[in-house]
Structure 1
Amino acid sequence: MAAAAQARPPRRRLRAALAWLHLWVGLIAGTAFAVVGLSGTVLTFHEELLLWQQPQLAGHEARADGAVLARILQRWTPQGLGSVQLPQADGLPVWQGYFADGRRGYFAPEDGRLLLLRSADHDGLLWLHELHTDLLGGEIGHQVLGVVGWIALGLLLTGLYLWWPRTGRVLAHLKMHRGPPVRRWLSWHRSGGVLLLPLLLLVTLTGVGMIYHAAARTALTTVFGGGAAPAPPQRAVPTDAPVDWTRVLATAQAALPHAHLLRTAAPASGDDAIGFRARTLGEWHPNGRSLVFVDRAGGEVLLAHDATAQRPGARMTEAIYPLHIGAVGGAWYRWAVALSGLLPAALLVTGFLFWHRRRQVRQQDRAAHGRLP
């Protein structure tokens, strides 16, 4: 057997080695890839599912009242509230609070009363979110997920290599067969993977890009131009003067008149700058990457950064997340992203069934030959 293996041409030996690696790595690491993909499919519709589960969050007028924001921050910042997302007419019409321990709070836009408090311990969607982003393992799980992402990319590319047909045989190699079982599962695995490979590659590559965001930004900005987002301005105040949130909101909105203010937080002690995340017309990122900073009194704009004015490399970096979650291109792309989350599980199942059925056939052949005189 060893001599026969050595007699194979180098290309056939390479192909055999890649096929072995593709099979066994796919069966092992493909399980994690499938779990991440399935959770991503559900999370594509996170907001709709949340409104369906919690109808008390719907039916409000999406109005950002400065007095209500002040009340929420005063009440909840001492309890770990880090930032607040403003009510959005095209999203959740309530205030959303993000806590340092991972909890999320939802407050009525009319008076700031608490409508819902969620945590991954008691909320299935947030649990799925943690599973999808760090495999429930915190920072270590996040890094493990990055390794899984690279392995997944390797599986997709080796699968493409193993499928690649001779000239004129493309359509024949794309055909899905009904039987026999070994041929059926192999053809379904290969053809389904190749037909939907561009979409799955895009979603997987953007997922890896999110995990290694700093490296991705450096690479893209080096090649296509751009740089880091501007640093928050630093301006100290001798005492923690009260914040005129009504005026602060108005000044921040006027600084970027074609943007929607999305998120803010209480200023740090001794800091006069209040920052806002905003989404300018033309931005893909659903959470916005434009920035506005104003002083506590709301009388001065300290910084206004329009993310659409950046060079291509920086804008490409900020397109990674919306491409991954299906936030661009309308409903058709969103459903396509949701479909892509089902593909790793489908490839895992068809790959396993092919291996299992082929193993059974080989065992039957050995048994049959063993009975021959």
Structure 2
Amino acid sequence: MMRWIDLLHRWTGGIIGLVLGLLGLTGAILAFKTWWLAYLPGAGDAQRQDIAALAAQIDAAMAAPGGPPQSILFPTHDFGLARLTRGEGAGAYADQSGRIVAEWGSKWDRVELWLFDFHHHLFFGDAGETVAGIAALVGLLFVITGAILWWRLRKTFKLRLIPKRMSRPAIVTHHRDLGVVFAPLLFLSMATGTLMVLKPITTAIFAPGQDSDGLSAPFEAPKVEGGPLAAKLDWAAMFAAARTQYPGAEIRLVALPRKPGGLILVRLRQPPEWLPNGRTLVWFRPENGTLVDSRNVQAMPTGIRAYNALYPLHAGKIGGILWKLVIASTGLVLAMLGSFAVWTFWFKRPKSRARLARESRPAVAAE
């Protein structure tokens, strides 16, 4: 039995280890994205959430060159710039006075955008997202089988951040011992990554007995047809109406209609919510700004609220700097374990007995 577990662990690691290693590395880098974007003008400005400031920001975004954006994501407590999203991957960062400080025409123009796309979609859209989710599921099996294999050799345990030497035995020992130390965190990272992507598994856990859209159905837009987007809306009045519905909520995002008949969506984050951009939703008519409907995530079933905690746990969005360091270190460990697993499997594999016998056989003298 242990032999088959060992074969399964080594072969799957040799095949998929590089994908997991790259996902771990990009995740570790993205955990501190706001830190390495601090060079942008206005990135360090204090967040403003007063209604007048928010209304001024969106008025400036609507009047910016290039036309109204598809959405505007407002600044956070640790990143003082708003992000404007436009079609086909284009967008911009704007400070809280509305001044554009950086623009891009596609995701390839910004490192943080293509890193995010790789980490979530492997550059292949929904198909890549599914592959990444399956890789995370396989990673869960690595953690479990690795812990089982470690138990036999637990008396030889030695904690090292890097291998003692770059030989196969030293790398395998390092892989086994460092892996078991980080096993709980690796398990958490893989589990949250899997559950965010593989919806059938997620629905079975968080919304048992419901169909595949059981977790998204409560957030669907109301079946109300909106009119054409007005040239000038009273955003302050709209934000005030949203705050009346949810006092103390942080206004995080405004999304404009993508197609005729759509509504304006305002996304809020209530104090108990872990999601950085919240999941409390309010819809307005685009022709006059009249409030249409809202969704209070705090009044939804426990399973939905638990599901919303997956991303903050996975991305280090809670717990301050300490949890960011934990998530980043877990990603770096995964990158190390995955890359070394691939290297030792494909380039440092031990010679088979048949090959050793052939190489040790004396050469036959030519007649």
Please give the TM-score of this superposition, normalised by the length of structure 2.
0.82
Deviations 1:231-252 (A, max 9, x none): 3224445665552112111211
1:86 equivalent to 2:74? Answer: yes
C-alpha change, 1:357 and 1:138, in structure 2 (3 Å) is: closer
Contact 1:26 1:155 in 2 (8 A): yes
Deviations 1:320-365 (A, max 9, x none): 1111101122222211110111122322354456556662697996
C-alpha change, 1:61 and 1:187, in structure 2 (3 Å) is: closer
Residue 294 of structure 1 and its aligned partner are, at CA, apart by: 3.8
Q: 2:235 maps to what in 1? A: 245
Higher helix content, 1 or 2: 1
Q: 1:291 maps to what in 2? A: 281
Say which is worse superposed, 292-301 or 239-248, in terms of deviation: 292-301
Instruction: Give the whole-Å Cα distance in 1 for the aligned partners of 2:342 and 2:238.
Output: 59
1:70 equivalent to 2:59? Answer: yes
C-alpha change, 1:60 and 1:76, in structure 2 (3 Å) is: farther
1:210 equivalent to 2:193? Answer: no
Deviations 1:214-239 (A, max 9, x none): 65145312289x85434322444566
Q: 1:341 maps to what in 2? A: 331
Query: 2:317 is paired with a residue of what secondary structure?
Result: coil
Q: Number of paired residues?
A: 350
Q: 2:132 maps to what in 1? A: 145
Letter in 1 for 2:243: Q
Q: 1:231 maps to what in 2? A: 220
Which of 150, 173, 191 is the equivalent residue of 1:163? 150
1:125 equivalent to 2:112? Answer: yes
Contact 2:269 2:276 in 1 (8 A): yes
Instruction: Give the whole-Å Cα distance in 2 for the aligned partners of 1:91 and 1:263.
Output: 16
Contact 2:206 2:306 in 1 (8 A): yes
Contact 1:94 1:106 in 2 (8 A): yes
Q: 2:301 maps to what in 1? A: 311
4+ residue runs of structure 1 moved beyond 6 angstroms? 360-365
Residue 59 of structure 1 and its aligned partner are, at CA, apart by: 3.4
Instruction: Give the whole-Å Cα distance in 2 for the aligned partners of 1:66 and 1:20.
Output: 60
- Which stretches in structure 2 are left out of the alignment for 5+ residues? 363-367
Contact 1:19 1:162 in 2 (8 A): yes
C-alpha change, 1:114 and 1:357, in structure 2 (3 Å) is: closer
1:31 equivalent to 2:22? Answer: no
C-alpha change, 1:360 and 1:143, in structure 2 (3 Å) is: same
Aligned alpha-carbon RMSD (Å): 3.4
C-alpha change, 1:61 and 1:208, in structure 2 (3 Å) is: closer
Which of 33, 44, 49 is the equivalent residue of 1:46? 33
Residue 181 of structure 1 and its aligned partner are, at CA, apart by: 4.9
C-alpha change, 1:296 and 1:174, in structure 2 (3 Å) is: same
Residue 188 of structure 1 and its aligned partner are, at CA, apart by: 1.2
- Which stretches in structure 1 are left out of the alignment for 5+ residues? 1-10
1:109 equivalent to 2:92? Answer: no
Q: 2:270 maps to what in 1? A: 280
Residue 366 of structure 1 and its aligned partner are, at CA, apart by: 4.6
What does residue range 168-183 of structure 1 map to in structure 2 within 5 Å?
Answer: 170=154, 172-176=155-159, 181-183=167-169
Instruction: Give the whole-Å Cα distance in 2 for the aligned partners of 1:205 and 1:173.
Output: 29
Letter in 1 for 2:107: A
Contact 1:41 1:342 in 2 (8 A): yes
Residue 41 of structure 1 and its aligned partner are, at CA, apart by: 0.6
